[in-house]
Amino acid sequence: MRTTTAYLAESSGAPLRLQEIQRRELRPEDVAIDITFCGVCFSDVHALQGQGPFPLVPGHEFVGVVTEIGSAVTRFAVGSAVAVGNIVDSCGTCTMCAAGQQNYCAKFPTLTYGGHDRQDGTPTFGGYAKEYVAAEAFVYHLPERLDPASVAPLMCAGVTVWEPLRQWQIGPGMTVGVVGLGGLGHLAIKFAHALGAHVTLFTTSAGKADGALELGADQVVVSGDPAAMSAQANTFDFIIDTASAPHDLTPYLRALALDGTLCALGALGSMEFDPYALLIGRKRLASAGSGGVPATQEMLDFCQLHGITADVEVLPAHEVNTAIARLERNDVRYRFALDMGQMSAP
């Protein structure tokens, strides 16, 4: 086993503390990665405040540099700049994996943290750490010319909104709504705008309007304003809902045009809506989670081409508990990236 340092929580609600953890020795297909930046995802907050599993090292959107390669590695060399997302393995044989949708692996994908290695059963610990060891099939080349810290959140938040936007073939002439302006929402605006769509942000806070317009939104609608919402009825081809708190989906179903789709990414606890709002206009409700390997690569290529990255606030890694606390109260614009070169006891 290899020893590295990581920010680890022992139990639900406990603070992250710097300590040593073990990683596996490299298998032939593995690379060892010196992590430079790791994004802070709302999933990290959920896991830390919730069910873990504990002990927990969060972090599933990170970038770094390859420091060692296994004997069978072909795509990377020592010194390669790389990125890793929230999946590090899958069964590889089910119909979902065969379709490049490892995120929906019928035998469940191996999560970057909080999962178990498929070969030795050891728990996976995430990227709030100095080093990570991963099979090269789930490691990506860092796009050149993009700021590494700002690429890190693309690996989870980015692909999570990218895949549905691509699946529903968002492009010029389409009207797209984005619900919520956080880590996912701000990237959804950037992507949908770059794909050529007319983009509307739905937000609870009028104060977010200027930020959304800067990101590429064409219009901002305050979701708490019934008149403003009614004015949007039957107009959207596609709405991507990134709000993480449970909320009524009915107003967004009503805002869809005939045969439009509402893709709700965050409302996993419950999906509350009036079935009649789905019926009238033959509308569709969908969900999606994360992305497969091909979509992740496609997203990175698109970002390189269009110069798109996440808007990040970089904090030194030793301020990790501050980042978690601030994210919990949505006090970030729009994603934290931890500088893993600045690890010390928090």
Q: Note the residues at the interface with its own copies (CB under 8 A).
A: 95-96, 99, 101, 104, 106, 163-164, 167, 233-234, 257-259, 261, 264, 267-271, 273, 275-276, 278-289
What is the distance between the alpha carbons of residues 68 and 90, in angstroms, rounded to a whole number?
23
**Strand 30-40 versus strand 335-339 pairing type:** antiparallel
Query: What CA–CA distances, in Å, run from 109 to 39, 82, 86, 152, 265?
Result: 20, 20, 9, 20, 18
Rank residues 80 and 102 by Cβ distance to its own copies and give the closer one: 102
Taking the complex as a whole, the smallest distance from the CB of residue 103 to its own copies amounts, in Å, to 9
- ∠ Cα 188 192 196 (to 5°): 170
Alpha carbon distance 19, 12 (integer Å): 17
Select 268 or 325, whichever has its Cβ closest to its own copies: 268
Q: How far is the CB of 159 from its own copies (least distance, A)?
A: 13
Minimum gap (Å) between residue 258 Cβ and its own copies: 6
**65: β partners:** 34, 81
Centroid of chain to Cα 253: 24
Measured CA angle at 60 (ends 58, 61), to 5 deg: 130
Nearest-approach distance from CB 283 to its own copies, in angstroms:
7
Residue placing its CB nearer to its own copies in the complex, 270 or 344: 270
Q: Is 242 helix (H, G, I), strand (E, B) or coil?
A: coil
Q: Least CB distance from residue 285 to its own copies, whole Å?
A: 5
Smaller CB distance to its own copies: residue 65 or 280?
280
Q: Whose Cβ is closer to its own copies: residue 167's or residue 219's?
A: 167
State the minimum distance, in angstroms, from the CB of residue 93 to its own copies. Answer: 13
Q: Which is nearer to its own copies, 81 or 256 (CB)?
A: 256
Of 100 and 123, nearer to its own copies (C-beta) is 100
**Minimum separation from the CB atom of position 191 to its own copies (A):** 17
Classify burial at 303, counting beta carbons within 10 Å of its beta carbon; exposed 0-12, middle 13-18, buried 19 or more. Answer: buried
Burial of 35 (0-12, 13-18, 19+ CB in 10 A): buried
Contacts of 54 (CB under 8 A, 6+ apart): 9, 10, 11, 12, 14
Q: How far apart are CA 247 and CA 229, in angstroms?
A: 15
- The minimum distance between CB 236 and its own copies, in angstroms, equals 12
Residue written as tokens 């909104």?
Answer: 161
- Shorter beta-carbon distance to its own copies: residue 101 or 200: 101
DSSP 116: B
